[in-house]
Amino acid sequence: MDIPTTPNNQDLSLSTAIFTSLLCMVFGANAVAIKISLSGLGQFTTAGLRFSMAIVIISLWAKITKRSFDLKKGQIHQLLIISAFFALQMALLYFGLSKTHASRGTLLVNLQPFFVLFLAHFFIPGDRITKRKTLGLFMGFAGMALVFFGKKGVTTDVQTGDFMILIAAFLWACNTVYTKRIIHNFDPFQTVLYSMIFSAPLFFVAGFILDNEMIDHFNAEVLILVFF
């Protein structure tokens, strides 16, 4: 079977759009789960634990569904690029969430589509800025801007956390665009799995060095939210 050499840029079907919307809702709740789990675990330790659990689950799923784990020589350097982006963006996200509010962090990280819109226009063939895309993004941006007009309770730490998450959103957008360009060479699960395999050990090392406490307390609530 021939492998396509250009990205597939078809519009989302209704079912795919609904599923994508549900994923966005889960991702929004994810920032809250991370923020609460940080009450008992260090930032980087939390990331290491979550991605280690994900590695096991995705590997089992891939094994059960008979997916191939094999990589070709030319794919390795592409995965290293994706993994480096992933590790850095997640490090900034977790560290940023430890300083800012979960609601602000969720809104900021969701600036990623704005960055993707412009990057894709220049780097993904056929993925152009359209009036419909611009209108949708403007509506999302307007709602977020209203939230950030308020300055009450915005400390220097919160501003630092906001900035870290903003950079994480930009790196995520870069990673998204690069992944879109090369995803046709992979089974999609490989890009997720190998990024986590690369990153998880780095997060544990960073946790040992940089976390004030790798584990302060580990109760049922923290465990559930880490698993989430």
Q: What is the mean pLDDT of the chain?
A: 86
Name the more confident of 141 and 190: 190
CA–CA dist 222, 153 (Å, integer): 26
CA–CA dist 160, 158 (Å, integer): 5
**pLDDT above 80 for 98:** yes
Domain ranges of the chain: 14-227
CA–CA dist 27, 102 (Å, integer): 12
CA–CA dist 134, 114 (Å, integer): 9
Model confidence band, residue 3 (pLDDT cutoffs 50, 70, 90): very low
Least Cα distance to 110 among 139, 152, 80 occurs for 139
Strand, coil or helix: 155? coil
Model confidence band, residue 138 (pLDDT cutoffs 50, 70, 90): confident
CA–CA dist 70, 64 (Å, integer): 16
- Mean pLDDT to the nearest integer, 98-108: 85
CB of 207 within 8 A of CB of 50?
A: no
* Global pTM value: 0.81
DSSP letter, residue 211: -
In Å, how far from its chain's centre is CA 46? 15
CB of 38 within 8 A of CB of 218?
A: no
Find all residues with CB under 8 Å of 176, minimum gap 6, and list them.
112, 116
**pLDDT above 70 for 147:** no
Q: Residue 151: its pLDDT value, please?
A: 66
Model confidence band, residue 124 (pLDDT cutoffs 50, 70, 90): confident
**H helix runs in 70-227, sequence order:** 73-97, 102-109, 112-123, 131-148, 156-182, 188-210, 220-227
Name beta bridge partners: 41: 215
Q: Residue 1: its pLDDT value, please?
A: 39
pLDDT tens for residues 6-18? 556 666 788 888 8
